[in-house]
């Protein structure tokens, strides 16, 4: 993977990582805004994951073309470790994208739960169940 592309992906993933590490403020307006941003990040990280996997596959292809004789004569475990060592940047980005995508999905579920709770709480308040509030 070209260093410039790696840096761009890494910079964007760092931005998304920072977003996922921010404390979620339990206020409906903030929650809906955060849920909208989470949805955008889910889509973009999904595309980025596909791009990273494509780059990983291209790097593997280049390795097999360059080291064909060596790789076909080596045991599979050695080949796997060789690929991991030579494609470490691509593998790192793929793993990071996968984990961030999962984190974003979990956070969106959490936000929906918080919004649902706030809606139920408001409904109970409006129905007069607010004696202890």
CA separation for the pair 66, 86 (Å, rounded): 12
Taking 80 as the threshold, does the pLDDT of residue 125 lie above it? Answer: no
Q: What is the pLDDT of residues 15-57, one digit of tens each?
A: 999 999 999 999 999 999 999 999 999 999 999 999 999 999 9
Taking 60 as the threshold, does the pLDDT of residue 133 lie above it? Answer: no
> Using CB atoms within 10 A of its CB, is residue 44 exposed (0-12), middle (13-18) or buried (19+)?
middle
Residue 131 confidence (pLDDT)? 60
Q: What is the pLDDT of residues 65-119, one digit of tens each?
A: 888 788 888 898 998 999 999 999 999 999 999 999 999 999 999 999 999 998 8
- Least Cα distance to 1 among 44, 54, 79, 50 occurs for 54
């Amino acid at each position: 993977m070209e260093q410039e592309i790696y840096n761009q992906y890494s910079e964007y993933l760092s931005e998304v990582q920072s977003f996922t590490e921010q404390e979620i403020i339990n206020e409906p307006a903030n929650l809906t805004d955060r849920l909208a941003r989470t949805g955008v990040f889910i889509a973009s990280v999904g595309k980025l994951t596909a791009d990273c996997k494509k780059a990983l596959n291209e790097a593997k292809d280049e390795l097999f073309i360059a080291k064909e004789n060596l790789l076909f004569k080596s045991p599979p475990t050695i080949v796997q470790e060789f690929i991991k060592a030579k494609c470490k940047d691509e593998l790192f980005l793929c793993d990071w994208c996968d984990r961030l995508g999962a984190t974003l999905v979990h956070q969106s579920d959490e936000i929906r739960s918080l919004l649902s709770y706030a809606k139920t709480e408001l409904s109970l308040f409006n129905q007069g169940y607010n004696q202890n509030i």
